[in-house]
Structure 1
Amino acid sequence: MIVVAVALAGCSFGPTTKDEVCESYQELGHSVSNANGIFDNAIFSDAGTLSSVAGRYEGGSRLESDAEALDAIADSKSTSVLALMNATQQIAQLCGQQLGRGSSLPG
C-alpha cells in the first residue's frame, strides 16, 4: 500500500505532458461552464491544479507565466472568466482552444 502511495505521489510532482496540461485545462473549463456565474471552490482548486500541471510541463518554459497567473488566481478570493482567459493564453494556444470554447465547453 505504501509503495502505491509513493508511486502516485511521484507522478504528481514529475514532469507533465501536453495531454495532461490540456486535460487539466478542460477540467477548469468544465468547472467554469458549470458555475453559472457563481465561482466556487472548485474553480479555484482547478486553477491551482492547472497551475501545478502547467508549471511542470516539459515542452518548454512558455507556460510559466500562465502557471504563475493561475497560482495567483487560486490563492485569491475572486476572479472572472476574463481573468481566467488572460491567465491561460499560452495554455489555450498549446491546447488549440480558448477557455470557454472548443470541445470541453458549450459554444
Structure 2
Amino acid sequence: MSSPTRLRVRLLLALGAAEVHLRLGLSVLLRLRPRGLLAALTGRPPAPEVPFAELVRIESDPVYRALFCAELNSAIESRYAAGVAVVDDVEAAADRLRSIVRLPDADERAA
C-alpha cells in the first residue's frame, strides 16, 4: 500500500474514532436529567429524592401509569432508531473505507 493511501486510511480511521467519541460524549450528557446536569456543571449534589416515589405513583395512579408506559415505549423506539442509525453510519463508513483501500491482489484477480 502506498504512503498516501496509508495516510488516507489513518485519517479516515481517526475521524471515525473522533465521531464515535463525540457521539458517546453527547449521548451521556443528553441522558442526564436536568438536576443531574446541573449538579455535574456546578459540583453540587442534587436534592435527595424519596426512594421509589415514582414507582409508587406508577402503581397507584392508572392515568400516570398509562402516561409513563407511553413515554417508555416512545423512549424505547427512539433508542432503537438511534441504534439502527449508528449501524447504518458504521456500514456506510466501512463501504467508504473499502472503496478507498483496494488490495493489489484483488485488482489482479479481477483482471
* TM-score of the superposed pair, with normalisation by structure 1: 0.25
User: Whose helix proportion is higher, 1 or 2?
Assistant: 2
Larger CA Rg, structure 1 vs 2: 2
